[in-house]
Structure 1
Amino acid sequence: MPRGSKAKYTDKQKRKAEHIEESYEAKGVPEREAEARAWATVNKQSGGGEKAGGSGRRTSPETKKAARKSSARRAVATRRGVPRPGSTLDSMSKTELMDRARKRNIAGRSKMRKQELIEALRKAG
């Protein structure tokens, strides 16, 4: 059995792990590997065994889901070069500055250095 006692897991979690393990074994995965994968899957889906009173369950799953979603959106926006709210021109990357210059149709932007882009954007208002 994988490391650690399974005493804190619910009966439902134990049945689920057993079912997953049997499925892996049917696919030809070695018994120990199948068991390890099964418990890893149960842990990922349900967060592990039952928790004692105040150990780590302060944030609801809905709150965590919303936080992950907003975090993912911010990451996508960053990759697209969308500036972060409240960011100053000096703290932006050259890519972010180029995007702003493109949106404001600043001529000659492709040949400008970062500092020149900042100055042109400040002039453009």
Structure 2
Amino acid sequence: MPAGSNKKRERQYEHIKDSALDRGESRKRAEEIAARTVNKERAQHGESKTASRSSIDDMPASRRGGQRSHSGAQGPTFDQLYNEARQRNIHGRSKMNKQQLASALGH
């Protein structure tokens, strides 16, 4: 469970984790999905001290409902791809467009 969360977020974490386990995800993957979702919700509601721009500006998971899961719709957003490229330290990312970022990341 993410540090600094309240009882509501703990219940939310357990619910998401249990749902992922019911879908057949491994325990480690279910915990990762739950933690990411709860952390994003905390960021969007101003409950966390730090948050990425994509966490704050993106549509809440409850409204999105899997629209961008896997490669549905248009796949991950430019901001999501850019953040992943930054984390992987891909050089030249600031000059890349969405398609180039996806290609550099192997999506």
**Shorter-chain TM band:** 0.3 to 0.5
TM-score by length of structure 2 reads 0.40
Larger Rg: 1
